[in-house]
């Protein structure tokens, strides 16, 4: 059950957020594993939505026509689409951490 905020609590929380400004301290993932995981977010949503739309079409086709062979064909096409989409999004092999530029003996950059 979601929290029930009173008007006073909502006002207090808004003032606290304006004072602390947490959005300025948001950094996102820092570890290599976290960055790799986040890089796959578009893959999940796009492939899932497209395959679900094709599955919905298959169910609609079967309900409208009673054609079980056509229904199976559309489900098969949805599974192929999922496979193709998952293969097209490959995770990056490794995200290199930031390194400061090298300096020569005088202290200037390369």
pLDDT band at 73 (very low <50, low <70, confident <90, very high): confident
The residue that leads in pLDDT, 11 or 95, is 11
Q: CA 89, CA 46: separation in Å to the nearest integer? A: 11
Looking at mean pLDDT, say which of 19-23, 61-65, 92-96 comes out highest: 19-23
Higher pLDDT among residues 109 and 104, named by residue: 104
Distance CA 29, CA 26 (A): 9
Highest mean pLDDT (candidates 38-47, 76-85, 88-97): 76-85
What confidence tens digit (pLDDT) does each residue in 14-43 have? 999 999 988 888 778 888 888 877 777 766
What's the pTM value of the predicted model, to 2 decimals?
A: 0.36
Boundaries of every domain in the chain: 47-90
pLDDT at res. 6: 93
Residue 63 to residues 32, 53, 72, 73, 79, Cα–Cα distance (Å) = 47, 15, 13, 15, 20
> Which residues, 6+ apart, have CB-to-CB distance to 85 below 8 Å?
43, 46, 47, 50, 51
Q: What is the pLDDT at residue 11?
A: 94
Beta carbons within 8 Å of 78's beta carbon, 6+ residues apart? 51, 54, 55, 58
């Amino acid at each position: 059950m979601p929290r029930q905020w009173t008007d006073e609590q909502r006002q207090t929380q808004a003032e606290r957020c304006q004072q602390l400004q947490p959005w300025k301290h948001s950094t996102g993932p820092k570890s290599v594993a976290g960055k790799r995981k986040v890089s796959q977010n578009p893959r999940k949503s796009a492939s899932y939505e497209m395959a679900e739309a094709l599955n919905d079409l298959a169910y609609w086709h079967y309900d409208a026509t009673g054609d079980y062979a056509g229904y199976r064909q559309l489900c098969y096409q949805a599974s192929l689409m999922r496979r193709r989409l998952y293969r097209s999004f490959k995770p990056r092999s490794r995200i290199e951490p930031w390194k400061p530029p090298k300096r020569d003996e005088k202290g200037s950059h390369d």
